[in-house]
Amino acid sequence: MAEIMFYSHPAYGPFHDVDQMNNNFYGKNELRAFHTDIQDNGDSYILEAELPGFDKEDIQIDIDNDRLTIQAVHKAENDQKDAQGNYLRRERYYGSYSRSFDISDIESSQISAAYENGVLKLTLPKRAVTVPTSRRLEIK
């Protein structure tokens, strides 16, 4: 059975305490890793990634050899001006998600993607399984 591996930041790792200290000092305004479900449909996998609030144009899917990377970038600006056009408040926010998946058992040229209602859906067709053949060599 083929297995899809993903690479993301672990919930607890060597920098957990440093991250926690930064969160306590600066606040927790960063974006979290997006939730992903992967289903095995026999001849393909269905990967669904929850990306609410993103436009389709904010999402990039890149394939580099046997690695598929999904990246979503969110930018927001909130300007409030008075009647003369002077800023009363101006906030800018930028955040990004990124997850990578091992697709070594996937037919990468056949992957398809759709985005609807905040859910990115990828269909990942499996590569045909090659069964090793056995034979006897003739000695000359």
pLDDT digits (tens, 9 = 90+) for 2-37: 455 444 444 555 556 666 665 555 444 444 578 999
121 burial level (CB within 10 Å; 0-12, 13-18, 19+): middle
pLDDT for the residue 32:
56
> Which whole number is the average pLDDT over 74-86?
75
| pLDDT-based confidence at residue 85 (cuts at 50, 70, 90) | confident
Q: In this predicted structure, which of 8-17, 39-48, 49-58 has the lowest mean pLDDT?
A: 8-17
CA 106 – CA 66 distance, rounded (Å): 8
140 burial level (CB within 10 Å; 0-12, 13-18, 19+): exposed
Residue 43 has pLDDT above 80, yes or no: yes
| H or E element in which residue 46 lies | strand 44-50
At 26, the amino acid letter reads Y
